[in-house]
A = this chain, B = another copy of it.
Amino acid sequence: MSKNQVPYKIYLSENEMPKAWYNVRANMKTDHRPLLNPATLQPAKLDELEAVFNTECAKQELNDSDEYIEIPDEVRSFYKMYRPSPLVRAYCLEKLLDTPARIYYKFEGNNTSGSHKLNSAIAQAYYAKQQGLKGLTTETGAGQWGTALSMACGYFGLDLTVYMVRCSYEQKPMRKTLMSTYGAKVIASPSDTTEVGRRILAEFPDNTSGSLGTAISEAVEVAVSSEGKYKYSLGSVLNQVLLHQSVIGIESKIAMEKVDEYPDIIVGCAGGGSNLGGLVSEFMHDKLTGKANPYIIAVEPMSCPSLTKGVFAYDFCDTGKVTPLAMMYTLGSGFMPAPSHAGGLRYHGMSPIISQLYHDGYIDEARAVSQTDVFDAAVKFARVEGILPAPESSHAIKVAIDEALKCKESGEAKTILFGLTGTGYFDLYAYEKFLNGTLTDAPPAEEALAKSEGDIPKI
């Protein structure tokens, strides 16, 4: 097939859909260092993780040996409702940019949660149901994860309480309604419903816009104090999440093979790492086993630059310091990003797997981009490709465009793959600000970074 006869959208058939998730840890040269129990500073064991997560997910969290883990039939059935997601050849964007590059994106937004988050939500809810739990607790930033887990819990008849970062809660009331439609209870965080919430409200009376770190603390507190009826569920950062999200990359690789393509460059936005980790999965497998060497770029917002400005150290996963410590790139668990419109990228840390891969050079580059540049790319993309992208996804669009323009300059016909993680239907207040010129960039001051990094425990 000529490279320009590739269809606009490449779908797998149902029986080509992955039957197993890919566990990158089985192939990592240096595994990431283990989670530590915050009380003992010893590696967290299964029973400690089980206090927080459902048992199967706790096991997956610790699994560093099985290359592939079977996807349960009920999860595969649910996947079939909205997967396989299309791999799209961005012909119209290529034309707009007048680039010799061939641009592909894996579009994960064609489901009501609006993003890739459903891939892990349905798995976590399934295992919770199997275990006989009453329900789950979680946090949400942009609202995509909360919506996804609401859908998943609604499907399996589980209760769900969502702590939603307050600035998102206020900017996106419709997200709350959407979660309620699927039966979830949604609480703005920081809240007075938890000890940690009350403590943070008292400590930072002037900054109640919240953060993912705080919302995590609240959701974990509710789960661990429920006498085992509820467990906590997290939409990013964790090994289990990257495992479930590997469907993105597995499908992408099969779809690209169908049209005889392989990416030279892979671009993914990175907040906690769920999308980037999922997108690169089988490509990273190739890289770790020496079969191929795609150039991988992690894109983050200047306002929350964990990879580009953070340090690689053990730190708490939450602001309230109730979770295990993870070895990761972190800005410090007390870091409070300026209100930013890419709510899904406002996390102080980064997936330990992604952190280790970046530290070891398997993720080739991290790039921080400004919010106005991101929205400029988003609007360009929307007008020619017909999809209104989420601000998070638009970070990847921005860098994919930059790389395609470099190809224009050099004349190279590189193959670029990026992850279009979701849609921006609930982010139109931010688009409105961009269109009327009131959207600003908010990189953190060096002093603020130094201060929050000063909080990182010395381990």
Contact = CB atoms under 8 A, between A and B. Distances in A.
Nearest to A7: B14
* Chain A, interface SS category: helix
A423 interface: yes
B383 A428 contact: no
Which of A112, A151, A382, A385 has its CB near the most chain B CB atoms (within 10 A)? A112
B7 A82 contact: no
Interface in A170-226: 174, 177-178, 180-183
A177 B432 contact: yes
A74 B237 CA distance: 43
Contacts of A154: 383
A401 B92 CA distance: 40
Given A386-B112, A387-B112, A81 B178 contact: no
Contacts of A182: 382-383
A435 to B, nearest CB: 6
A379 interface: yes
Given A7-B80, A386-B81, A426-B425, A177 B112 contact: no
Contacts of A379: 181
A80 B180 contact: no
Nearest to A174: B428
A261 B62 CA distance: 47
B8 A13 contact: no
A428 B150 CA distance: 15
A111 interface: yes
A431 B181 contact: yes
A110 interface: yes
Contacts of A177: 428-429, 431-432, 435
A29 to B, nearest CB: 39
Contacts of A11: 11
Interface in A9-31: 9, 11, 13-14
Contacts of A183: 383
Contact of A181 (B82, B151, B435): B435
Contacts of A382: 112, 181-182
A384 interface: yes
Contacts of A13: 7
Interface in A380-422: 382-388
A397 to B, nearest CB: 14
Interface string A340-359: 00000000000000000000
Contacts of A114: 425
Interface of A: 7-9, 11, 13-14, 77-78, 80-82, 88, 91-92, 110-112, 114, 118, 151, 154-155, 174, 177-178, 180-183, 379, 382-388, 423, 425-426, 428-429, 431-432, 435
13 contacts: A8-B81, A81-B88, A111-B386, A151-B383, A154-B383, A174-B428, A177-B432, A177-B435, A178-B431, A181-B382, A181-B435, A182-B383, A183-B383
Given A7-B14, A81-B92, 16 more contacts: A9-B14, A78-B386, A110-B110, A111-B387, A118-B386, A174-B174, A177-B431, A177-B435, A178-B428, A178-B431, A180-B432, A181-B382, A182-B382, A182-B383, A425-B425, A425-B426
